[in-house]
Structure 1
Amino acid sequence: MAIITTTRRIERFGRTTPPTCKYWLAGRCNRNPCRFSHSLPTSPSNVYFNPNTTYHHSKKPTICSPKPLQKPANHAPKAVVSIEKPIKCESEAMCVEKLIECGPKAMSVEKAADVEDAATVAIAPVEKSRSICKYWMTDNCVHGDLCPNLHLWFYGEGFSPLAKLHEHNKVVTGIALPTGSDKLYSGSIDGTVRAWDCNTGRCVNFINLDSEVTSLISEGPWVFAGLKNSVRARNIQTGVDVTLDGPKGQVLSLNFGNDILLAGAEDGVIYAWRCSSDPKAESPFELVATLSGHTKPVVCLAIGCYKMLYSGSMDHSIKVWDLDTLECTMTLNGHTDTVTFLICWEDYLLSSSSDCTVNVWVCTEEGTLKVAYTHTEENGVLGLYGMTDADAKPILFCSCKDNSVRMYELPTTNPLERT
């Protein structure tokens, strides 16, 4: 017995609209363009597809012999009632939910249950993931509201995006807002440092350093950029540029404290320059020490109370240094992968790592540091930042490898919003 599939019905009755893409209905079509329709089918105007229509036959009714029902190829299953007894075709009406055969040709007339199913799929709630759709970011997502990923940059309460600064063409590795300046500075591995007007959000100046900028900070009128084998310093008030030589390899981290500029380099050494008070000196900064102890690149630096410097490395350790003597006082081993970021918050030290954890360190009575709490993220943590909100509650920002920034209220680390 011949079964007419959807494609044959289209050809028979002259319809030109392609069938609805079943992968689009499920929110999983990744073809662009797709040869199937990305819209719900409408009710056909042809009378053969109207279940309320009474059909008349010019021929005399014939006895229909039951035959096994075959599943149409490449087509979703239909709601068809199985036939177990011969059906006599009446001349006045025909059941549209049963398979009949009248005359030498066979015709399958079925209730369009697939249309109802498609509508059900379309209106069913789609469980959203917590990742931003990468196709939506480039205006190429074909799923629309059925996409399981986020089609927005931020969701939550209390925060909203102000501007999108997009002149860099590679990864941004640092931003700095000098005290008293209305310009925001950003560095990138595209080899440039850009200045942005804080009122308009436009790039007003850029400096081509001809080397990847892997860290950027500011102190007073100075902006410091970590480059390969050097640190570039620029005074934004006078326009003076100074190159500080000494580091071996890429300068991955910078910090400033106790009138000392500190640079963590790829060779595992921390380089220290002290500000010169001699106005006649050739350089306003003088290399005064090199802090050795890490066996792999120094990724992050933080300065806390009691004039202490904390350094995190790819060797999985955190070292504590006295800024007065520039000597190492202790080594902390609480992570199993690269220590990616450090911040000092009052009497606490917070460290993040590629091992997907954030550790909160507290000082013991013996004067050492121990882990008081460990928070685990699904993905590795790239950076940390702390601030207080409008209600003076401490908020911790965690930048993660899944392209999100997650915000937690301390000390319970309950998630508030995610971007």
Structure 2
Amino acid sequence: MDGGRRVYHRFGQSASSGYSNNKQQKVCYHWRQGKCSRFPCPFLHSELPGANNGESSKRAHQGFEAGISQGSGLRRSGNSYFNNTWGRVQGQGGGSSNRVIKKMEKLCNHWLQGNCKFGDNCKYLHQWSTGDCFSLLTPLEGHQQVVTGIALPMGLDKLYTGSQDESVRVWDCQSGQVVGVVNVGGAVGCMLSEGPWLFVGLTNLVKAWNIQTSIDLSLNGPVGQVYSLVIGNDMLFAGTQDGTILAWKFNVATNYFEPTASLKSHTLAVVTLVVGANRLYSGSMDHSIRVWSLETLQCLQTLTGHTDVVMSVLCWDQFLLSASLDKTIKVWVATENGSLEATYTHTEEHGVLTLCGMHDSEAKPVLFCSCNDNTIRVYDLPSFSERGKIFSKKEVRAIHIGPSGLFFTGDGSGQVRVWKWSAEPTAIS
């Protein structure tokens, strides 16, 4: 009888019940988080009972929506939500209440070895992802070390991947088979495709291949490993190990890339570059982000909000997103005088390695966030509501968005995976 009373209290009681214990009426905090392990639990595993509970919940929900639409100054421009909504679940379509994520979000080690005896009853994951918005199509095996670059030149049916194993592999998109392996003579730090050109960042060198004409060029000037490449204002920029950003411009007459500028401001290696709003943004091991004018190539501002290596920068609409090994993602927005300031900080449990963005089939922005616990978190923006996770054997260093809902990931074990969205999204530039 007493055991039955405890179970009764766990799931609530009617107003006519004779039992009245304030401790018993408290909702279990761990139950709300979906991870209560006590049985029996002395607290409620349901919301507080009461005749007006449904009505009060409804009023609370309406008040939350009113606060968003009236009190927060929410404005939209196209598909964009402005800075004061970052990290807040949207009342319309931005929440995650209809997404169910398995509680034990950890890969089964026995499943990885192919010998888990529990099968579907195992409490750990027997799959490479959670969430229902994407699925794994196929793994591409061949690289022996971390994959640092993925490129899918427009109009071609070939995928290019680069690795620290000193090779660039060429994959046929129809069969998934390797059709070529190029030994580049050094660890690949990054890759970029633009038009007919494929650029590969190496040590003390950038290789430039014209896929249409088979022209093979070597761009000298970098000191140390080239970690990042980007195109802006008809120039190729390379972030290097010594903290310099080098720029080249293609000369049609000579059919060669002419050195244009050497941007010096960072004190340590430049590991990430992005172009947006006529600006070049660079993230560095010196914990800072530099903002450069693409017209004058002068440094306009230094952003110092991070406390560890800035691993990735991403432009979305009028915002700059930056990710760091300090376990944070910062959202920067321009003030009235044109300078950037951090308006929101999202914190992860682990260091963040790379960011990649796209719009889903409903034109909602989605963020891929690779962390050094061998996972990729997939978030709705601007709410940072989680849509799912992708798991890997080792950390993911490269993410690339393809056409028709395809995207590619490359991890520290050398494996490249091909994924497919359930509905076709579009890339965030």
> What range describes the TM-score normalised by the shorter chain of this pair?
0.5 to 0.7
Task: Kindly report which structure 2 residues correspond to 1:214-293, keeping only aligned pairs within 5 A, or say none.
Answer: 214-278=189-253, 281=254, 284-293=256-265
Q: Structure 2 vs 1, CA of residues 410 and 200 (structure 1 numbering), >3 Å: closer, same or farther? A: same
Which residue matches 1:111?
none
Structure with the higher fraction of residues in strand conformation = 2
1:117-156 alignment, distance < 5 Å? 128-139=103-114, 148-156=123-131
Give 3-state SS (helix, strand or coil) of 1:136's partner: helix
2:267 paired residue among 290, 295, 298:
295
In 1, Cα distance between the equivalents of 2:118 and 2:259?
A: 57
- 5 Å-filtered alignment, 1:97-108, equals none
**Equivalences for residues 85-104 of structure 1 within 5 A:** none
- 1:179 pairs, out of 154, 157, 160, with 154
Question: How far does residue 150 in structure 1 lie from its aligned partner after superposition?
Answer: 2.1
Matched with 2:376 is 405
Change beyond 3 A, Cα 1:144–1:255: same
Match of 2:348 in 1: 377
Q: How does 1:189-208 map to 2 (within 5 A)?
A: 189-208=164-183
Tell me whether 1:348 sits opposite 2:315 in the alignment: no
- Aligned-residue identity in percent: 53
Quote how far apart the aligned CAs of 1:131 are: 3.0
Q: CA deviation at 1:147?
A: 5.4
Report SS of the residue matched to 1:160.
strand
**What is the rounded CA distance, in whole Å, between the counterparts of 2:106 and 2:299 in structure 1?**
41
Between stretches 196-205 and 357-366, larger displacement belongs to 196-205
C-alpha contact 2:140 2:176 (8 A) present in aligned 1 = yes
Summarize the alignment of residues 20-35 of structure 1 with structure 2, pairs less than 5 Å apart.
none
Aligned counterpart, 2:59: none
Is the Cα–Cα contact under 8 Å of residues 133 and 387 in structure 2 kept in the other structure? no
Q: 2:293 aligns with which of 299, 322, 331?
A: 322
Equivalent pair of 1:131/1:404 in contact (CA under 8 Å): no
Q: 1:333 maps to what in 2?
A: 304
Which amino acid in 2 is paired with 1:339?
V
**AA aligned opposite 2:382:** P
Q: Which residue of 2 aligns with 1:418?
A: 389
Aligned to 1:48: none
Q: CA deviation at 1:148?
A: 4.9
CA distance in structure 1 between the partners assigned to 2:116 and 2:187 by the alignment: 33
TM-score by length of 2: 0.65
Aligned to 2:88: none
The AA in structure 1 aligned to 2:338 is G
Is the CA contact (8 Å cut-off) linking 2:230 and 2:236 kept in structure 1?
A: yes
Matched AA of 1:418: K
Give the aligned partner of residue 367 of structure 2.
396
Amino acid across the alignment from 2:314 = I
> What is the CA distance between 1:174 and its match in structure 2?
0.9
Give the alignment's TM-score, normalised by structure 1.
0.67
Quickly say closer, same or farther: Cα 1:390–1:222, change in 2 above 3 A. Answer: same
* Residue number in structure 1 paired with 2:276: 304
SS in 1 for 2:138: coil
Aligned letter for 1:262?
F
What residue identity is the alignment partner of 1:194?
Answer: R
Q: Is the 8 A contact 1:357 1:381 kept in 2?
A: yes
Letter in 2 for 1:265: T
Q: Match for 1:169 among 129, 144, 152?
A: 144
In 1, the alpha carbon distance for the partners of 2:190 and 2:110 equals: 30
Query: Which secondary structure does the structure 1 equivalent of 2:111 belong to?
Result: helix
Q: CA deviation at 1:137?
A: 2.6
Structure 1 contact 128–150 (Cα < 8 Å) conserved: no
Whichever residue aligns with residue 317 of structure 1, its letter is S
How many Å apart are 1:317 and its aligned residue? 0.2
Deviations 1:106-137 (A, max 9, x none): xxxxxxxxxxxxxxxxxxxxx85323245533
In the TM superposition, what whole-angstrom CA distance separates every residue of 1:34-79 from its partner, at most 9, and x where no partner exists? Answer: xxxxxxxxxxxxxxxxxxxxxxxxxxxxxxxxxxxxxxxxxxxxxx
The answer to which structure, 1 or 2, has the higher relative contact order (CA under 8 A, 6+ apart) is 2
Contact 1:157 1:417 in 2 (8 A): yes
Find the aligned partners of 1:140 and 1:310 in 2 and give their Cα distance.
47
With over 3 angstroms needed to count, the CA separation of the structure-2 counterparts of 1:169 and 1:134, relative to structure 1, is farther
Task: Give unmatched runs, 5+ long, in structure 1.
Answer: 1-126
